[in-house]
Amino acid sequence: MKVFISWSGELSLQVAQLLKSWVKCVLQATEPWLSSEDIAKGSVWSNEINEQLVKTSVGIICVTRENATAPWIHFEAGALAKGMAQNRVCPLLIDLDKPTELGLPLSQFNVTLPTKKDMLRLINTINESLKEKLPENILQMTFEGFWPKFDDAFKAAVSNYKPSTKPPRSSEEMTEEILQIARQTQSALEAMWQEQQFEKDTREAAAKYARTFGLVNAFAADAFGEGLGLDYLSPPVGIMGRSKIIPPPQSAPEKPPA
């Protein structure tokens, strides 16, 4: 089961990397996904993230004072919230003291504090999303065993972190980046829909042809597709290199008697 971990900024990334390994240790049936490590070299960045957002069942958002209003964090939170019905969005407050410090849209989600009680609640939320849930007593023992390591590493990351002195990016720059990603996402979805529609239209055409001209002609050897053949397809033309369906040749009508 996919667990999407969202981050923005250096401290957020450090905690996200810690979460990835810790969640996997506590719940081995999970597949925590972190964009900085899990995007294959050469992959289209936004497409890969979109694919993971669709597959995920639980999302953890690593929120800091620096990124609480970042457009990218809000974008991924919104994408998670609009996913499958069983999706759960859990903002983890890293260096924020209380949930009331969050604004919309993050404040509407199930906020998690880095305390033992809240982190156990987060683990239970993930466990409830698994197809094969870990029994409560085993989950409790596993959590108790790995909690001290997480707690120590988390506190060390927060205490050792020094905020960047680089000037923050302007809201206009970050908004433009989000708009570009949104446009790429829309284009990818439209291409996927066209692909599915083409396959549907082709199968309907095959069925119609079979009813009209017989199965032997419709599904002849060396016909279209992987065994689902149409022997009247022209060479590839048109959008996405697809083949254009044309009617089969008809025999000339008989000449009427004189």
Give residue 83's pLDDT: 60
Q: CA 76, CA 62: separation in Å to the nearest integer?
A: 11
Q: CA 40, CA 65: separation in Å to the nearest integer?
A: 30
> What CA–CA distances, in Å, run from 197 to 200, 208, 238?
5, 16, 15
Give residue 45's pLDDT: 52
H helix or E strand, kind and range, residue 38: helix 35-38
In the chain, how long is the greatest CA-to-CA distance? 104
Hey, where are the domains in the chain? 2-163, 172-245
Contact by Cβ (8 Å): 248, 210: no
Give residue 207's pLDDT: 76
**Run means of pLDDT, 10 residues per run, the chain, 258 residues:** 88 94 95 72 58 79 88 78 66 88 80 94 93 93 96 95 66 70 68 76 77 59 46 42 45 46
Q: CA 217, CA 250: separation in Å to the nearest integer?
A: 13
Give residue 139's pLDDT: 96
The CATH H-level (homologous superfamily) assignment of domain 2-163 is Response regulator (3.40.50.2300)
Q: CA 215, CA 232: separation in Å to the nearest integer?
A: 13
Give residue 137's pLDDT: 94
Q: Strands 58-63 and 2-6: what pairing?
A: parallel
